[in-house]
Amino acid sequence: MATHVLESPNQAPAPKKDSRMGGGLLDPKQMIRSLPDALRKLDPRIMWRNPVMFIVEIGAVFTTALAILDPSWFAWAIVAWLWLTVVFANLAEAVAEGRGKAQAATLRAARRDTTARRLKARDPGQWDVVAAPELKQGDVVVVEAGEIIPGDGDVIEGIASVDESAITGESAPVIRESGGDRSAVTGGTKVLSDRIVVRITQQPGQSFVDRMIALVEGSNRQKTPNEIALNILLAALTVVFLVATATMQPLAIYSKSVNPGVPDSLALNADGVTGIVLVSLIVCLIPTTIGALLSAIGIAGMDRLVQRNVLAMSGRAVEAAGDVSTLLLDKTGTITLGNRQAAEFVPVAGVTERELAEAAQLSSLADETPEGRSIVVFAKERHGLREREIHGAAWVPFTARTRMSGVNLDGREVRKGAATAVMKWVRDAGGHPTDDIGHLVDGISASGGTPLVVAEKGRVLGVIHLKDVVKEGMRERFDEMRRMGIRTVMITGDNPLTARAIADEAGVDDFLAEATPEDKLALIRKEQEGGRLVAMTGDGTNDAPALAQSDVGVAMNTGTSAAKEAGNMVDLDSNPTKLIEIVEIGKQLLITRGALTTFSIANDVAKYFAIIPAMFAALYPGLDALNVMRLASPQSAILAAVIFNALVIIALIPLALRGVRYRPSSASKLLSRNLYVYGLGGIVVPFIGIKLIDLLLQLLPGMS
């Protein structure tokens, strides 16, 4: 057997395609494409799910009938703008869904007509060719280079390079192999090399791509608890305004009888408030703005996740992300770069650094881990130990039981590994570890490094210092989390000394060292018992219990099927730091919903004070003092308010789709900002908008 020194411990990653959608939020072409969907949503069987807009649609039908019976320019103008209000509300949702359909079209391209070679259960050496949709859970298929993987499953035999760009947008191929945490494959991806045997894990029509298409199109979106609660609140406000408006009719009839000298108008006559005006008043006073945009806000929130290559299995998960108060983050690959690299050889007294480097390199020649390759390269670069061939060596692989690896060659026995394991091996061989080895190990651990002790039978040579570098900018990100009121906990299998050093450097609030699956699960339950929502990432089968227990469980796409089934989100890029972005998107969703609700209710207050004084000033001259906008006439005030009510929905669609800009801050500051910007703005904007529309209406014949 011959083994060669590797020239480089790492290869540069292939560039990644940007998977995010571009284009404007209100592209006219997109609006036109969404218009047929908006019109189809006028079906009462669809509209009743949105109580506020369903009331508006009923009002539009009623005013249409009144306009037919008693036609006038004013009546038909009100009818037209009430119908536009309903259409604009549907258009907001249709545009949000349309953005998802554009992504779904790309995903459908991955679901091409595919056949599969299914192994026969009774004769595993033979197979039959079937259509991919016919595959059932438990079927075993063979996929070779150049073929499309017919369905979601786990690799049970072989190793292959797989192109997942159709699903993840990642141009670089990935390795999928049997066993371990990189065995899951997705239907629609392509095998580039070698041959794998896959066991199908999904039933027909329930594949990963099928579920993703349904979710991004919005057809499978369930309303979240907060959204349902807000719908109930809006329905209650609608009922209150309905009752309040209904009382105006008897009040107006009584007032006309007491003041018969007041002339009839399009707003008031002997029968009180006219039907068209009554409906207009109801539509302007109920919270139509947030009622129209609420669904679009939820769809857009999930869409923003999909743009970042994260699939949320439910809207509840997105919403929960916004309320998360504890983040559990793996150290390796999330907080640190992940590949620990040899940074220093520290010999014990009586041993030269070159002697230690030679033994460390010798014990690592067959070690294909990033750490092992870095030791070989570091010894070559630091001490000029060049490539060489080794013949007749007996390599000792690393195991979880022995916690060390090495080589037996020409009577030499060299080992490297965990300090306790290597020193026990030395003592068992009759040697005596030097007194200073413990100080060297503790010093490296305390600095955040990982110590690997190197020994030759009977004596310890020294320690290899492996460094795991904290990613740039992580401390700033954790500072942001802290300002948001989120507690960050680093999870690692390292010893407590190493864990503490990395935690201090990264700036996390707490850490869990030497973590087992049971430890993770216990930590999550402890946090949840205190009333906190917990988010975590994971990719292995051993992470599945914790992912299932957490409120937001983000599984890596490269992970096992068990992990992806247990989580309620899947990160297609398999980037654990994405969890921080997910939390920010969830908070942005909640803030956007709250901001537009504040704006909508403030709008209603402003419209109330704009319309009522103009309508009843003739009956009650004292109300004229409240007519601060000096609207020209009752009918002009009503029509201007109805037009503004419709146009403000269109104006706010970009904000609903893009989301209110989120800045890490405390809940009290966010509330104050929302009340100042959207509360005050919701009061001021209608006064300005209605007045401008009123001035424009005066230019029309018959309105002066």
Q: Does the CA dihedral 88-90-94-97 come out positive or negative?
A: positive
Most confident range (mean pLDDT) of 470-474, 499-503, 560-564, 628-632 is 499-503
pLDDT in tens, 10-42: 333 333 333 333 334 456 676 777 888 888 888
Contact indicator for 649, 288 with CB cutoff of 8 Å: yes
Phi and psi, residue 216, nearest 5°: -70, -25
| Predicted pLDDT at 166 | 59
| Predicted pLDDT at 501 | 81
DSSP alpha helix (H) spans, 202-247: 208-216, 225-246
Contact indicator for 267, 58 with CB cutoff of 8 Å: no
The mean of the pLDDT values for the chain is: 78
Structure tokens, 534: 């917990």
DSSP 509: S
| Predicted pLDDT at 24 | 40
Binning pLDDT at 50, 70 and 90, where does residue 7 land?
very low
| Greater pLDDT, 108 or 275 | 275
**Where exactly are the structural domains of the chain?**
28-98+221-273+284-304+585-623+645-698, 114-217, 323-335+471-572, 339-467
| Greater pLDDT, 682 or 107 | 682
Least confident of 132-136, 360-364, 509-513: 132-136
Which residues participate in catalysis according to the annotation? 330
pLDDT in tens, 237-292: 888 878 877 777 676 666 666 666 555 554 555 444 577 888 888 888 888 888 88
List all residues 6 or more positions away from 381 whose beta carbon is below 8 Å from its beta carbon. Answer: none
Residue 416 labelled as part of a binding site = yes
Residue 539 labelled as part of a binding site = yes
The average pLDDT across 168-186 equals: 71
Structure tokens, 636: 């002009």
DSSP string, 645-683: HHHHHHHHHHHHHH-PPP----HHHHHHHHIIIIIHHHH
Q: Please tell me whether residue 252 adopts helix, strand or coil conformation.
A: helix
Residue 435 labelled as part of a binding site = no
The average pLDDT across 183-200 equals: 84
Residue 40 labelled as part of a binding site = no
Query: Is a pLDDT exceeding 80 seen at residue 542?
Result: no
Q: Please tell me whether residue 193 adopts helix, strand or coil conformation.
A: coil
| Predicted pLDDT at 222 | 56
Interior/surface letters 502-527, b for 16+ CB within 10 angstroms, e for the rest: bbebbbbeebbbebeeeebbebbeeb
Task: Say how far apart CA 110 and CA 660 lie, in whole Å.
Answer: 34
| Greater pLDDT, 299 or 523 | 523
Q: Are both 114-217 and 323-335+471-572 of the same fold?
A: no
DSSP string, 571-604: ETT--TTHHHHHHHHHHHHHHHHHHHHHHHHHHH
Distances (CA, A) of 430 to 293, 420, 427, 433, 454: 77, 16, 5, 10, 16
Superfamily of the domain at 339-467: Calcium-transporting ATPase, cytoplasmic domain N (3.40.1110.10)
Provide the percentage of residues in the chain whose pLDDT is more than 90: 6
The average pLDDT across 102-125 equals: 66
Assign a CATH topology to domain 114-217: 2.70.150
Query: Is a pLDDT exceeding 60 seen at residue 395?
Result: yes
Residue 371 labelled as part of a binding site = yes
Residue 274 labelled as part of a binding site = no
Residue 54 labelled as part of a binding site = no
Residue 154 labelled as part of a binding site = no
Q: Side chain identity at 36, as an amino acid letter?
A: P
Structure tokens, 513: 């060292």
For 323-335+471-572, CATH gives 3.40.50.1000
Residue 72 labelled as part of a binding site = no
The average pLDDT across 189-208 equals: 81
| Predicted pLDDT at 81 | 93
The average pLDDT across 136-155 equals: 86
Query: Is a pLDDT exceeding 90 seen at residue 654?
Result: no
- Look-up: residue for tokens 């700033």? 476
| Predicted pLDDT at 643 | 92
What is the end-to-end Cα distance of the chain in Å, rounded? 100
| Predicted pLDDT at 614 | 67
Task: Say how far apart CA 312 and CA 489 lie, in whole Å.
Answer: 23
| Predicted pLDDT at 15 | 34
Residue 85 labelled as part of a binding site = no
| Predicted pLDDT at 18 | 37
Binning pLDDT at 50, 70 and 90, where does residue 181 land?
low
| Predicted pLDDT at 430 | 81
DSSP alpha helix (H) spans, 507-559: 517-529, 544-549
Q: Please tell me whether residue 171 adopts helix, strand or coil conformation.
A: coil
Query: Is a pLDDT exceeding 80 seen at residue 554?
Result: yes
pTM of the prediction?
0.64
Q: 51: buried, middle or exposed (CB in 10 Å: 19+, 13-18, 0-12)?
A: middle
Query: Is a pLDDT exceeding 50 seen at residue 538?
Result: yes
Binning pLDDT at 50, 70 and 90, where does residue 167 land?
low
| Predicted pLDDT at 64 | 93
Q: Side chain identity at 300, as an amino acid letter?
A: A
Residue 399 labelled as part of a binding site = yes
| Predicted pLDDT at 65 | 92
List all residues 6 or more positions away from 587 whose beta carbon is below 8 Å from its beta carbon. Answer: 321, 322, 484, 662
The average pLDDT across 214-230 equals: 62
Query: Is a pLDDT exceeding 50 seen at residue 8?
Result: no
- Look-up: residue for tokens 């001490």? 383
List all residues 6 or more positions away from 349 whose beta carbon is below 8 Å from its beta carbon. Answer: 434, 436
| Predicted pLDDT at 68 | 92
Strands 510-512 and 184-185: unpaired
| Greater pLDDT, 216 or 339 | 339
The torsion angle over the Cα atoms of residues 520, 525, 526 and 529, rounded to 10 degrees, is 160
| Greater pLDDT, 525 or 275 | 525
Contact indicator for 467, 481 with CB cutoff of 8 Å: no
Interior/surface letters 377-393, b for 16+ CB within 10 angstroms, e for the rest: bbbbeebebeeeebeeb
List all residues 6 or more positions away from 89 whose beta carbon is below 8 Å from its beta carbon. Answer: 50, 53, 56, 288, 291, 292, 293, 649
Task: Say how far apart CA 218 and CA 303 lie, in whole Å.
Answer: 9
Distances (CA, A) of 263 to 73, 268, 472, 494: 20, 8, 75, 86
pLDDT in tens, 45-93: 888 888 888 999 999 999 999 889 888 888 899 999 999 999 998 888 8
| Predicted pLDDT at 267 | 53
